[in-house]
A and B are shown apart, each in its own frame.
Chain A
């Protein structure tokens, strides 16, 4: 009978169909309800889900994370994720990026989109506050590295205690000379530690005065045998970064130092709570 078939089809569809989700890219300072085209991950259609005077940028997907072992595929996802955020940034001027692979699912009888709206409603005040805080501001990354060899040489040349110990080595027996060398090495290491700290504080202090917000990041491997001694993200008012650029120039011009100044980015590093 037709009825039984229909019921079976409905049940089958319910059981077999993958759960629907919404991949969320960012929150934008806009109440517009629009489609932005197929600019999302895997060419998915991106559109806005408004709530009050903000909206979320989403695409429809299955309620499961994007996962792959293929570096090229994941890279394309990451690039797409950022591209959607930058598109919204360009269009509406103020966005809050959301972490990669954030997918809202159905829960009991509520659809993913309903859940998203509920979440927006619950978080509305907090989101509005952050939007206000980052309004008209852009993120920059600053990485300062030094050439450890050059710095070590400079210390060896100028540090009085080391100079004294170097002169004392002459005339010592092989064994004692070796121990002396070890001592000098220890002293050199200690001087470099102190130096790195001092420079960190000095540079951090200078940068902090020229930006609205600053966050310390982990240092990473620098290139060409350099050693990174400072890694920060900072938030600066749009088009007001000249003073910062100048300060970084003077640091970059110091012997043995190298500055990497990157951006502008949407405020990725300044939107998470806690």
Chain B
């Protein structure tokens, strides 16, 4: 299998990287405050070409379902399998954030 950067989903991959990844500088000399998103969720979705989903309110429903699915999987992992410290450490950051 060869890796690809084609396909319409690649814009989403690009957004994920450019907006969420890379070095984040925390210092007084930066204009915008880290942690305060300049590109909101709705705008991101629009860029990724999901206006239709937003329009019909499907975005919220999907969001909820994904969070529930994630939460259940993480809980199930803890109950059913031996704790793997590496996975525990890495999944610590992917639970839905509260109060942002």
Contact = CB atoms under 8 A, between A and B. Distances in A.
A197 B79 CA distance: 11
Interface residues of A, number: 68
Interface of B is mostly: helix
Contact of A261 (B4, B27, B66, B87): B4
Contacts of B13: 141, 262, 265
Contacts, number: 157
Contacts of B43: 69, 71, 74
B41 interface: no
Nearest to B46: A71
B83 to A, nearest CB: 12
B69 A66 contact: no
A78 B46 contact: no
Interface residues of B, number: 48
Given A75-B47, A119-B25, A221-B66, A248 B1 contact: yes
Interface in B45-86: 46-47, 62, 66, 69-70, 72-73, 76-77, 80-81, 84
Interface of A: 21, 24, 26-27, 63-67, 69, 71, 74-75, 78-79, 81-82, 96-105, 107, 112, 115-116, 119, 140-141, 193-194, 196-197, 200-201, 204, 215-221, 223, 227, 241, 245-246, 248-249, 252, 259-265, 268-269, 271-273
